[in-house]
Amino acid sequence: MTETVVIIGGGQAGAQAAVSLRQEGFEGRVVLIGDEPVLPYQRPPLSKTYLAGELARERLFIKPAAFYEKVNIEHMLGETVSAIDPSEQLITLASEQTLHYDHLILATGGRVRTMPCPGADHPSVNYLRTLADVEAMQDKFTEGTRLVVIGGGYIGLETAAVAVKHGLKVTLLVARPTPLGRVTSPEVGNFFRDVHRQAGVTLCCNTGVESIEDDTGDGKVAAVVTDSGYRVLADIVVVGIGLLPNVELAESAGVVCDNGIVVDEYGRTSVDNIYAAGDCANHPNPIYQRRLRLESVQNAVDQGKTVAATICGKDKPYAQVPWFWSDQYDLKLQTAGINSGYDQAIVRGDIASRSFAVFYLLEGRLLAVDAINRPAEFVVARNILSKGLAVNAERLQDESIPAKALAAVPDAIESKTVSTETSDPAEATPSGVKVA
């Protein structure tokens, strides 16, 4: 009897799971359901090259339509799932159509966190999550337009960089003392603060938003009012304040959720024959000895592969070093690992040169690295983390030692776990971070 795998979610994780099922030899029916009316596409370029008009639309798509047809992957576009019945192994679409599954993959991703203030629902207030979001904004990115960006994460910074390059008058409002304050160190946050200011962005830290005012004359946004009462004049507003995992469908089916859909190392949920992958999945990470919910392409791809292998009876536990990236101006920030709980930050290189790396250690063991225009340090850090090698702080900051030699520490010891226990699993989970 031919088995059917239904995948709910047409993002990176869902697409990868579908492709990997065929690569692992699955010969049954594969149905990919996405709520957007387009084929699965890459999200990282949305806030960078695609927003800037430097990338053709067709290059966003993960695979062309001909590929899915060739490998017999069915896709249902612009469809939403209203219910899951685990006892009957049925899903119900919003159109009331039902579909049987033998295996169900939840790759439901996340949705943008909205502003909890008056005026946040104004038509000129934009969020940047989908292809449609970007295409609705592109014609507004014209020289002289006053743009207010709310949020100092990667989405906010990348949007600001694109906008100021196109001649917009950009104000960036950051709630924390520095940009990237939730995911990086003060050294890196201060660096990017200065970079954006030097590029012409008016960047305000420690600044919250009280309301968004409407211009009663023409229906356009007039200003963003800060928590200090200051009015920032605006023609368009872009909000990037994080992501919420889409877990409601899973919860309604009795699947255990806690800061995402709880899965084991093989992508299995608490309900038989239901799996989860990507931004919505909370998985155990053996390297950090804790659960993580990661919002990154790397995580989505690797988890999609893991779930596909599990369904095919080829258990391949997920045990990857998290990694992320962001492009801003002429800078490429590459991050390996999670720096939550570090007690030492070691700078390698000269920050003023715009080429340096910051290594984060806990009790002498490497947790993570932020590498700005330093690809060699990024690569070696991933190697150190994946193998659990010991490091020497003095060697890390000594640039006379080649980056590739930093892992070759004579007294290196094997210990593939780093305990970074925290009371809040979300603390170590970068939000809106882009990954290569």
Tell me the pLDDT tens digit for each residue of 213-272.
Answer: 986 566 678 899 999 999 999 999 999 999 999 999 999 999 999 999 999 999 999 999
| 228 within 8 A of 361, measured Cβ to Cβ | no
In order, the DSSP letters of 416-436 are -------S-GGGG--SS-B--
Say whether domain 125-241 belongs to CATH 3.50.50.60: yes
Cβ atoms within 10 Å, residue 313:
9
| 276 within 8 A of 247, measured Cβ to Cβ | no
Q: Give the confidence band of 404 by pLDDT, cuts at 50, 70, 90.
A: confident
Instruction: Summarize the confidence of residues 291-312 as an average pLDDT.
Output: 97
Helix (H) or strand (E) run with residue 114 in it: none
Which CATH entry fits the domain spanning 323-428: 3.30.1540.20, 3.30.390.30, 3.40.30.10, 3.10.560.10? 3.30.390.30
Helix (H, G, I), strand (E, B) or coil at 67: helix
Q: Give the confidence band of 436 by pLDDT, cuts at 50, 70, 90.
A: very low
User: What are the Cα distances from residue 375, in Å, to 100, 118, 282, 421?
Assistant: 47, 43, 29, 29
Measured in degrees and rounded to the nearest 5, phi and psi for residue 354 equal 65, 25
Say whether domain 4-111+244-311 belongs to CATH 3.50.50.60: yes
Instruction: Summarize the confidence of residues 353-376 as an average pLDDT.
Output: 96
Q: Count Cβ atoms within 10 A of the Cβ of residue 329 and give its class: 0-12 exposed, 13-18 middle, 19 or more buried.
A: middle
CA distance linking residue 171 with residue 233, whole number of Å: 9
Pairing status of strand 73-77 against strand 29-34 = parallel
| 242 within 8 A of 69, measured Cβ to Cβ | no
pLDDT greater than 50 at residue 302 = yes
What number of H helices and E strands is found in the chain?
Answer: 9, 26
Prediction pTM value? 0.91
Instruction: Summarize the confidence of residues 385-389 as an average pLDDT.
Output: 91
pLDDT greater than 80 at residue 163 = yes
pLDDT over 70, % of the chain: 92
Q: CATH 3.30.390.30 occupies which residues in the chain? A: 323-428
pLDDT at residue 15, as a whole number:
98
pLDDT greater than 60 at residue 415 = no
Which tens digit of pLDDT belongs to each residue from 41-84? 999 999 999 999 999 999 999 999 999 999 999 999 999 999 99
Instruction: Summarize the confidence of residues 157-179 as an average pLDDT.
Output: 97
Q: Which residue has the higher pLDDT, 11 or 429?
A: 11
Ranges of beta strands (E only) in 24-69 are 29-34
Q: Which residue has the higher pLDDT, 431 or 40?
A: 40
CA distance linking residue 399 with residue 349, whole number of Å: 7
pLDDT greater than 90 at residue 407 = no
CA distance linking residue 434 with residue 113, whole number of Å: 17
**Spatial CA neighbour of 65 closest among 15, 109, 99, 21:** 15
pLDDT at residue 313, as a whole number:
95
Q: CATH 3.50.50.60 occupies which residues in the chain? A: 4-111+244-311, 125-241
Give the mean pLDDT of the chain: 91
CA distance linking residue 60 with residue 50, whole number of Å: 8
